[in-house]
Structure 1
Amino acid sequence: MNKQSNVYTIIYASVMVIVVAAVLAYTALLLKEPQTKNVEIDKMKQILSSVNIASDATNAQELYKKYIVNTYVINADGEKIDGVNAFDVNTANQVKKASSDRELPVFVCRLEDGSEKYVIPMNGAGLWGPIWGYVSVDKDGNTIYGAYFAHQGETPGLGAEIEKPMFSDQYKGKHLFIDGEFKSIAVEKKGQKPVDGAEYVDAISGGTITSKGVQDMMKNSLEPYQNFFKSLK
């Protein structure tokens, strides 16, 4: 065949496209399992962080199995939903639904002293992209034991500071209910207080939009759990 002909060029290009596509598909197949495992391990690390347990890629699975003693999914009435794996629920999609339609995961952690904490996932929006996290609640269904926050693309030194302990540690000991009414936790500029009497933490200096994103995320994510929290009492 004439290598200078259009037919040769078309056949050669088609073959190369097929070969490259096959190689990429095979590579993606090989990497899928380890990538999925890494995502799962990272999620375990984040859940453990919300109950103040430090972990890394080498021990996260072991610590998760040790401390997370139960998981289940509930609805907004606080009733368990059978046949749904809490770890597999896409909470980023669930928060977009009406509260009554959501599948709400609960991760039960039992610490060394025998006390139980209830870990709740959260998802929301920051200034530049998604933000998410986990908050752990004491058995009274009201007091926050710990919190973990993460982001996809917030500004370093500003909104990205939500992932630092200096911000998340402020949530420890805060209360979700005031005089029996769900208030969530407000995020206010330093020196300011919420007008509705809710408990609050100081916002990130220079990261007001991201800080308010955390406030909205927590309220939207935790509000559907009200009946569940009340049942814990």
Structure 2
Amino acid sequence: MTNGYIFRYTITLVIIVAIILSATATLLYPLQKKNEDNEKMVNIMKAAGITVTNNEDVYSLFDKYCTKMLIINNDGTIIDECSDAVKTKCKAFNINLKNELSKMADNKDYSLPVYVLQYDNKIINVIPLQGTGLWGPIWGYMALSEDFDTVIGTVFDHKSETPGLGAEITTEKFSNQFKDKRLFKNGVFKSIAVVKGGISALDTEEQKYAVDAISGGTITSNGVNDMIRNTLELYLPYIEKQNDKQ
């Protein structure tokens, strides 16, 4: 067997494998996208306090409660509004927040999504969050009252935080602490502090703006703290414009 034959055989094999992998990825993409969309819709609704059971049609339920989606620019101006029957087709639904935050870091124009839901006779604004934990990306959704001051609920997730420690941000024990917390004090943005050692040492007033950090998960807790503040600060121009209208 000559070296030339071996070389041609190897190249042919590599090409065939590449074609198979490419075809497989192409065929699987629609299913993968559907699963990602499904998870995103469930998390947005969960943050807003909407329970989704396994036998429910997530798409129909989301289209029922999500009345519109907005895209805002750097100065808080609405540049796109979508109320299509199929919300997953809206541009706002498909914005990659991580990419938009990278644009901001490079001093480029960026766009941010706002998901507006109506549930239990309330207007609920859901804001996506993006940050960094101990070992990698963390993210989530925060549902806010119509005036953006009171937290309705939150959902957090992560890529590779430590099980039993930082990974506890995904638990209801952690996320439920945020319910009814406040973001503004006397009209000034204060955010919600994730406090190492717990909020019991804080006075009653300050406890409205804080939650307990995760024991043993200090760096991840700090990441959640920074993620909330840094992401929501980008939405302040939009929030101020909306509250001026009320």
* TM-score normalised over the length of structure 1: 0.90
Determine the structure 2 residue equivalent to 1:40: 37
Counterpart code for 1:226: L
Name the CA distance, whole Å, in 1 between partners of 2:76 and 2:9. Answer: 62
- How far off is 1:32 after superposition? 1.3
Determine the structure 1 residue equivalent to 2:71: 73
Counterpart code for 1:211: S
Name the CA distance, whole Å, in 2 between partners of 1:135 and 1:64. Answer: 16
Name the CA distance, whole Å, in 2 between partners of 1:182 and 1:82. Answer: 26
Counterpart code for 2:170: E
Determine the structure 2 residue equivalent to 1:104: 112
Counterpart secondary structure, 1:117: strand
Counterpart secondary structure, 1:82: strand
For residues 75-104 of structure 1, what are the alpha-carbon distances to aligned partners after superposition, in whole Å with 9 as ceiling and x for unaligned? 243310138821111111223315993312
Q: How many residues align?
A: 228
Identity score, percent: 44
Name the CA distance, whole Å, in 1 between partners of 2:125 and 2:75. Answer: 17
Determine the structure 2 residue equivalent to 1:53: 50
Name the CA distance, whole Å, in 2 between partners of 1:72 and 1:124. Answer: 21
- How far off is 1:46 after superposition? 1.3
Structure 1 residues 162 and 223 mapped into 2: Cα distance closer, same or farther (>3 Å)?
Answer: same
Counterpart code for 2:24: T
Determine the structure 1 residue equivalent to 2:95: 89
Counterpart code for 2:224: V
Counterpart secondary structure, 2:78: coil
Counterpart secondary structure, 1:141: coil
Name the CA distance, whole Å, in 2 between partners of 1:102 and 1:5. Answer: 57
Determine the structure 2 residue equivalent to 1:157: 164
For residues 141-191 of structure 1, what are the alpha-carbon distances to aligned partners after superposition, in whole Å with 9 as ceiling and x for unaligned? 211111110000111111001011111111111111011110110010214
Q: Which moves more between the two structures, 54-63 or 133-142? A: 54-63
For residues 51-82 of structure 1, what are the alpha-carbon distances to aligned partners after superposition, in whole Å with 9 as ceiling and x for unaligned? 12233586221211111110011124331013
Q: Which moves more between the two structures, 144-153 or 21-30? A: 21-30
For structure 1, the residue ranges without an aligned partner over 5 or more in a row are: none
Aligned with 2:193 (options 186, 207, 210):
186
Determine the structure 1 residue equivalent to 2:215: 205
For residues 5-63 of structure 1, what are the alpha-carbon distances to aligned partners after superposition, in whole Å with 9 as ceiling and x for unaligned? 22221222122112111111111111111111111111111111111223358622121
Q: What value does the CA root-mean-square deviation take over the aligned residues?
A: 2.2
Counterpart secondary structure, 2:149: coil
Q: Which moves more between the two structures, 60-69 or 120-129? A: 60-69
Structure 1 residues 135 and 57 mapped into 2: Cα distance closer, same or farther (>3 Å)?
Answer: farther
Contact 1:76 1:100 in 2 (8 A): no
Structure 1 residues 57 and 87 mapped into 2: Cα distance closer, same or farther (>3 Å)?
Answer: farther
Name the CA distance, whole Å, in 2 between partners of 1:121 and 1:81. Answer: 18
Determine the structure 2 residue equivalent to 1:64: 62
Counterpart code for 1:62: S
* Residues 1:219 and 2:215 are matched in the alignment: no
Structure 1 residues 187 and 193 mapped into 2: Cα distance closer, same or farther (>3 Å)?
Answer: farther
Larger Rg: 1
Q: Which moves more between the two structures, 149-158 or 32-41? A: 32-41
- How far off is 1:192 after superposition? 4.4
